[in-house]
A and B are shown apart, each in its own frame.
Chain A
Amino acid sequence: MSTSTLPSAAPITLERTIVKSWKGPIALSIFALLAIVLFGVFARPGVSHFRLSTTGDFFQLPQLDVPTTSTGWILAVILVILAAWSVLMVFQSRRVPLWLTIVFAIVFMAGFLTWVAADALIPIPGLLIGAVSLSVPLIFGAMSGVISERSGVINIAIEGQLLAGAFVSAVVASMTGSPWAGLVAAMVAGTLVSFALAAFAIKYIVDQIIVGVVLNVLVSGLTGFLFSQVLTNNPKFLNTPPRFDRIDIPVLGQIPIIGPVLFDQTVIVYFMYIVVAGVAYALFRTRWGLRTRAVGEHPQAADTVGIKVNLRRFWNVSLAGAIAGFGGAYFTLGSVGSFTKDMTAGAGFIALAAVIFGRWDPIRAMLAGLLFGFATNLQSVLGIIGSPVPSQFMLMLPYIVTIFAVAGLVGQSRAPAADGKPYIKS
């Protein structure tokens, strides 16, 4: 919030200058309109079935059956009310809160699912569990991007860091028989990729985007080469990592619907909660965070007050690499099991999209990661029940949303001021 002092006032009064941003309400209104058209005008007859719990759950919830058309109308009306509320808030010069957007997104998703599931069954727990497991590497990658870019180094190499983490964790965990060793090794691998990024970007002042792109190719080539030359010759010894078991947290894991989704997961997912909370706290509430942001926004000012800009950038980028490497380990130790060539399949770029869509904020980036994971998993679930929307369009969604976000059509997305600019002390 910007402030400017008025010289004449005896007790200094702070004047707030407020810019009304209509982009949010406009976006919500468009989606609300879309909802009316889709759920109302193009309503599909029938009954939508939702399975709310699996057989292993502590609480058994009955299957939810709702009439498609009327539910669609009700949800569309709710969406219109929410959009109208956001318009009203901007009228009153108030900020549209994040929770309103989240509620809007959830209601829209519920409406969409109801519309899609006419005379079909959607297993909600499976949908959500799949979404979370697809989101985990995205969120780790996004945290890596947030830390790196907040300190002024563009991290396109997230993909490479994830892939390096996945590869090394598979090999080390297979050789040692301990997934924990694999996890540590993955962090080291991610850090090594970051060292290369930091060395070239900070010491040799090579364009950071170029280094990132080339490092992705390098890691893809290295892991692919080692995979076909070494791992395929001895898969038993080198590429059968033990996987982490799911740990059910006693009380929390028994909450209906979200309990099994969030609290019956592998240890990597629990680490993810800690990492997100830690990054969010550290970035905005600690001395480290203040200095990191200073280095990313205005390195000269930071240097003037005695912060070693390049050193801090170097270690922050390394930390970012460690986090992304950790996320890469989820591919092998958490979900798939063994390493395959290019198994990250663009997750690093979606993580980058999550960073931008999340406006370089850890919590928002995590939500963006969850949204993208959800969209990806929704596509595979809809593929099974046969959806009216081609699955490719669901898969496109995260990327289109990011383009809109970058273009400033959905909220404003502004990078840290010195993001991507090397700092040379004069």
Chain B
Amino acid sequence: MSGNEPVDRQLPNISPEKATREPGQSGTASEPERSRWNVAMREILNGSAMISLLAVVLAIIIGGILIAVTDENVQATAGYFFSRPGDMIAAIWNSVSGAYVSLFQGSIYNFRRPGFANGIRPLMDTLTFATPLIVAGLGVALGFRAGLFNIGGRGQMLFGASAAGWVAFSFAGLPFPLHLIFAVVAGVIAGALWSGLAGLLKATTGANEVITTIMLNYVAYYFVYWMLSTQGLLQLPGSNNPKSPGMLPSAVLPPLFGQQYSLHWGFIIAILVTFFAWWLLNRSRLGFQFKAVGLNPDAARVAGINVPRMIVYVMLFSGAFVGLAGVFQVLGTVTTGFSAGIDAGIGFDAITVALLGRSKPWGVFAAAVLFGAFKAGGFAMQASQGISVDIVLVVQSVIVLLIAAPPLVRAVFRLPKPNLLSPLKSNKTQGKKAVVTK
């Protein structure tokens, strides 16, 4: 197909490792770690936490406007706004406050339920939703730190879930902890390998991992769908539906605080994994190499780091984390058998989680809990107020867009431009780096 390729083109940047891309404007996330106090001072001066907070506030306001505009009572009262403006204001207040109160009650604490044990249940739901988001977000964040963009969360979760699910419903004789560990390990390895494929393609041929991971998502989806609808592979024996059998009890993650709550031991694993990710990135030699590759692959290569190998390793680790999210889905959240939609969009949510957490392990943890709260609360809001859960998607994406563009948030809130080390400035230098001239 391709014939004669030009040989002596004087164009910049045709090396395969050109994609040194930063997640959004995360100047702070990618700059070398300094002393803890220094970092803390800079955080406050830069206002990056402030920007995150303001972005959340702004997104909630935008969500409120959307809820108010689409509310039927508001629309009805808007017809006679000039004769009785109070009606419309009351209607807006009712719809928006109703929505956000039910969001709160669905995600943190429900005062209407009797007793603390019942009232706290929404918080447990929040943490249950957050559990897969934490590990998947960590996987994506790890990629970001190494300059790789893993959009393949969906495929990696599906393969992780399939492998873990297959182990969990097949090996009937195994005793409890052994069977569970076996299933978890199988899922993690499957996720890692699927992601490692994209890493291998990038390391050997320079194929852009953004494209390959997106494409591998679809390949994984159809492959898992095929396995789920084929007897003898993953399909429930004797069934025609593309669905797997239920998990055996010996491989299910046990509930953390008793059967009445949905929260399972996966949450504890997620905390441990967050700690591991922190250790990996900040204390280990491998993590240092990852970050070096992310900051400047050319410098990393000169310093003796094997960049292609690091790319494969990063994708393996990233896929292992994301695969673990798939494991949590089949062994913790939905244990009665899974379908091809088991990923539940977590693979994509993980990207926004990683961005919101600024690619730092504990930041990702906090962001995942916030998004878990949005999810749990969103479903409660849909049930009680009839407001579609899609509003949560809008709020989430607005948050990420705003966080990625601090100058916009500053303009909205009329904040002064920080003088030194401003995100805008670091942005500009980043941009300069991006257009390399020879």
Say yes or no for B267: interface residue by CB 8 A criterion: no
A352 touches B2 (CB 8 A): no
The residues of A that contact B41 with a CB separation of less than 8 Å are: none
Which among A2, A20, A98, A214 has the highest number of chain B CB atoms within 10 Å?
Answer: A214
The residues of A that contact B38 with a CB separation of less than 8 Å are: none
The residues of A that contact B431 with a CB separation of less than 8 Å are: 205, 422-424
The residues of A that contact B212 with a CB separation of less than 8 Å are: 403, 406-407
Interface-lining segment among B5-13, B107-115, B287-295: B5-13
B4 touches A210 (CB 8 A): no
A417 touches B11 (CB 8 A): yes
Chain A 348-361 per-residue mask, 1 if CB under 8 angstroms from chain B, else 0: 01001100100000
B7 touches A396 (CB 8 A): no
B3 touches A21 (CB 8 A): yes
Say yes or no for A418: interface residue by CB 8 A criterion: yes
Say yes or no for A217: interface residue by CB 8 A criterion: yes
Give B205-229 interface residues, CB cut-off 8 Å to A. Answer: 205-208, 210-212, 214-216, 218-219, 222-223, 225-226, 229
B223 touches A396 (CB 8 A): yes
A220 touches B3 (CB 8 A): no
**Alpha-carbon gap, A207 to B400, bound state (A):** 12
Say yes or no for B392: interface residue by CB 8 A criterion: yes
A210 touches B397 (CB 8 A): no
Q: A352 contacts which of B211, B351, B387, B427 (Cβ < 8 Å)?
A: B211
A200 CB to closest chain B CB (Å) equals 6
The residues of A that contact B9 with a CB separation of less than 8 Å are: 2
B11 touches A297 (CB 8 A): yes
Looking at chain B's contact residues, the main secondary structure is helix
Contact status of A220 and B22, CB under 8 A, knowing A229-B70, A424-B428: no
B118 CB to closest chain A CB (Å) equals 29
Interface-lining segment among A44-52, A89-97, A243-251, A255-263: A89-97
B388 touches A392 (CB 8 A): no
A213 touches B208 (CB 8 A): no
Say yes or no for B246: interface residue by CB 8 A criterion: no
Q: How large is the interface on B (under 10, 10 to 19, 20 to 34, 35 or more residues)?
A: 35 or more
> How many A residues have CB within 8 A of the partner chain?
80
B232 CB to closest chain A CB (Å) equals 13
Q: B348 contacts which of A1, A213, A233, A393 (Cβ < 8 Å)?
A: A213
B207 touches A406 (CB 8 A): yes
The residues of B that contact A226 with a CB separation of less than 8 Å are: 70
Chain A 196-234 per-residue mask, 1 if CB under 8 angstroms from chain B, else 0: 100010001111011101110110111011111110010
| Minimal Cβ-Cβ distance residue in B for A27 | B1
Which residues of B line the A interface, CB within 8 A? 1-9, 11-14, 19, 21-25, 66, 70, 72, 149, 151, 201, 204-208, 210-212, 214-216, 218-219, 222-223, 225-226, 229-230, 348, 351-352, 355, 387-388, 390-394, 396-398, 400-401, 404-405, 407-408, 427-428, 430-432, 434-435, 437
Which residues of A line the B interface, CB within 8 A? 1-2, 4, 17-21, 23-24, 27-28, 90, 93-96, 98, 101, 156, 196, 200, 204-207, 209-211, 213-215, 217-218, 220-222, 224-230, 233, 297-300, 346, 349, 352-353, 356, 390, 392-393, 395-396, 399-400, 402-403, 406-412, 414-415, 417-418, 420-424, 426
Given A225-B388, A400-B215, 14 more pairs with CB closer than 8 A = A204-B25, A205-B25, A206-B25, A206-B404, A213-B151, A218-B394, A221-B397, A229-B388, A396-B219, A402-B215, A403-B201, A408-B206, A417-B13, A421-B434
